[in-house]
Structure 1
Amino acid sequence: MASQTQHAMLDKIKTADGFIAALDQSGGSTPKALRLYGIEESQFSNDDEMFGLVHDMRTRIITSPPFNGDRVLGAILFEDTLDRNIEGKPSARYLWDEKRVVPFLKVDKGLNDEADGVQTMKPITSLNLLLEKANAQDVFGTKMRSVVKLANEAGIEAVVKQQFDVAKQIIAAGLVPIIEPEVDIKSPEKAEAEGLLKAAILKQLAALNSDQMVMLKLTLPEEDNFYSELVEHENVIKVVALSGGYSRDEANQKLTRNKGVIASFSRALTEGIKAAQSSRDFDTVLDEAIESIYQASKA
């Protein structure tokens, strides 16, 4: 049975204005995230030091005064972050207790090599243990990512089926899955791929029971409001958009043209913040980023 905390988190995601911060860079993407933040690879010598530095960066973002539940609905964390504390509290609990930001956990283990124009997820080893850990820390939901590069029907159907198969395990554990079949913004067949993707998602949604609820995280489409059927679907709590390599300004502009979709930005959120900035400058830059993404998500 869902707890009071889960009910409060669900109500927030369903009804409040705001967006979801994607703070879940993992092994492969962490060096790039740190480099953009102003920390070069020469400043760490192993994974422990690297993850320590990125946790410091995330802690600085999360504890910054502009980062709070007034404009940020949720935050997606990497497992390493879940295992660490922020100001003496487990990270997920800190988010909700101190900031009223709903915690999500990235659960995928990376991508397989491209086949049939897509990259499916690697097997998610020990998923049940990870979901137990998430539940123990009052995490609300999960996120898992696949990538679509070409308009290959068989490949796209395989990506979506895999996502929904795992999503059902996550729902059974009492969590809300964010399903993320990202369409590469550089795809020469992006619009065609989006058409196949929407059809595959609608097919999987139609097979869910009325109490099996999901969220969708999708690349901003070529055609405005292309995913409106998904936004309005009774099994979809929320459709969120990734920035996918677009600049913040471009991502925000595209987002404003897609009604009912909110942001779940990563690089576009942290664009412009630097390790060397004073607290005042850091908070100012982050506040401007949060406000612009919040307004685009409300539009």
Structure 2
Amino acid sequence: MNQQQMTDRIATGEGFIAALDQSGGSTPKALTGYGVAEGSWNGDDEMFALIHEMRTRIIESPCFGNGKVIGAILFEKTMDGLSGGKPVPTRLAERGVVPFLKVDKGLEDERDGVQLMKSNPGLEDLCNRARELGVFGTKMRSVIKSANPAGIRAIVDQQFAEGARILSCGLVPILEPEYDIKAADRAEGEKLLRDAILEGLDALPEGQQVMLKLSIPVEADLYRPLIDHPKVLRVVALSGGYSTDEACAELARNPGMIASFSRGLLQDLRAQQSDDEFDTTLGAAIDQIQAASIA
């Protein structure tokens, strides 16, 4: 797929984006969820090798290339690895899956009810390398924990500032100011978040587009103005700790949002499953998430 084909695939594809971007901090939990006992690896190299085996098993599964997965978000080490004997971004594109890269370097301590992203001085170098490998876009996560107007403004401003750096490298940024689904004031805060994002979108230069990855809102269809905004290529939803069933039920109440699930996609996969069992389990999750994305 060339750049325009990838853009069209993300803009109009009737599917969802798989999140395969667990980083160093979340990899042990992902592996134990996959049935790999903690302590069965020795050091980071073995740990990342095991998670790469899991990801390539997913990528190479017949159901992953059936058209229902339109994109996949990768961890940097996954982008640099191989699947099916080819660079992962190349292999994904062959399967009709648009490659994205997680580019944030983790979170700062909480302040004003939010956790901003850590400084990322090497962002342009990483983006340029990703573009050369065939990556289409990026993803970067920060977290909102309360409806603090100053904090929400700061988190949105940072997302758009980093997004501008990514756009300058020729990639499409997914801005992800995640709202903690356990926050008691989430309904109020999500309105503040929506309005702050709209201001940021209106300030974008003509001809530029971003994507948004947001927690599924408490109020159904709250993010319709974002979905319909001409400077938004697509709005995707994170599962945010919901089970697959819960996340899909919530997503189906928000037409126009599509899934970008990690836990919701992977929760029933196990290293001990036969290939047939693995493919059947993954295929059922893909079918369920895609159905909720196009509901």
TM-score class, shorter-chain normalisation, is: over 0.9
**Does 2:281 match 1:288?**
no
Contact 1:38 1:276 in 2 (8 A): yes
| Offset from partner CA, 1:244-265 (integer Å, 9 cap, x none) | 0001001001111101000000
Paired amino acid for 1:26: S
SS of the equivalent of 1:112 reads coil
Superposition deviation, residue 124 in structure 1: 1.4
Distance in structure 2 (CA, Å) of the matches to 1:246 and 1:276: 24
| In 1, Cα distance between equivalents of 2:246 and 2:85 | 38
Name which of 113, 120, 123 aligns with 1:117. 113
2:11 equivalent to 1:14: yes
Report the counterpart of residue 242 of structure 1 in structure 2. 238
> CA–CA distance in 2 between the matches of 1:51 and 1:125?
24
- The one-letter code sitting in structure 2 at the alignment partner of 1:40 is A
Provide the residue aligned with 2:54 in structure 1.
57
Using the TM superposition, give the Cα deviation of residue 125 of structure 1 relative to its aligned residue in structure 2, in angstroms. 2.9
3-state secondary structure, aligned to 2:2: helix
Q: Which residue of 1 aligns with 2:259?
A: 263
Match of 1:132 in 2: 128
Once residues 243 and 74 of structure 2 are traced to their aligned partners in structure 1, the CA distance between those partners, rounded to angstroms, is 22
SS of residue matched to 1:41: coil
The aligned counterpart of 2:89 is 92
1: CA distance between counterparts of 2:201 and 2:157?
10
Instruction: Give the Cα–Cα distance (whole angstroms) in 1 for the partners of residues 28 and 138 of structure 2.
Output: 23
Secondary structure of the residue aligned to 2:62 is coil
For residues 18 and 234 of structure 1, what CA distance do their matches in structure 2 show? 20
What is the CA RMSD across the aligned residues, in angstroms? 0.8
Q: Deviations over 1:42-100 (max 9, x none)?
A: 11121111000000000001100110151000000000101111121111111002x11
**Cα distance in 2 between the residues matched to 1:52 and 1:132:** 25
Mapped to 2, the partners of 1:260 and 1:205 lie a distance apart of 18
Q: 1:105 aligns to what?
A: 101
Given the two structures, how large is their TM-score scaled by the length of structure 1?
Answer: 0.97
- Measured in 2, the distance between the counterparts of 1:272 and 1:196 equals 35
Hey, what does 1:66 align to over in structure 2? 63
Partner residue in 1 for 2:29: 32
- The answer on whether the counterparts of 1:220 and 1:255 sit within 8 Å (CA) in structure 2 is yes
Q: Is the CA contact 1:69–1:101 (under 8 Å) kept in the aligned structure 2? A: no
Q: Percent identity?
A: 57
Q: Could you say which residue in structure 2 is the equivalent of 1:78?
A: 75
Q: Which runs of 4+ in 1 moved over 3 A?
A: none
User: Aligned match of 1:156 in 141, 144, 152?
Assistant: 152
5+ long unaligned stretches in structure 2: none
Q: Give the aligned partner of residue 45 of structure 2.
A: 48
Superposed displacement of residue 286, structure 1: 0.3
Q: Deviations over 1:114-172 (max 9, x none)?
A: 01000000011311110111111110000000000000000111000000001011111
Deviations 1:2-53 (A, max 9, x none): xx71111001111120000000000111000001000122111211110000
Stretches of structure 1 that go unaligned for 5 or more consecutive residues are: none
What letter is aligned with 2:201? L
- Choose which of 137, 144, 161 in structure 1 pairs with 2:140: 144
* Separation in 2, partners of 1:215, 1:126: 22
SS of residue paired to 2:71 = strand
Q: Would you say how many aligned residue pairs link Structure 1 and Structure 2?
A: 295
Using the TM superposition, name which of 281-290 and 184-193 deviates more.
Answer: 184-193
Q: Which amino acid aligns with 1:145?
A: R
What letter matches 2:53 in structure 1?
D
Contact 1:168–1:212 (CA<8 Å) still a contact in 2? Answer: no
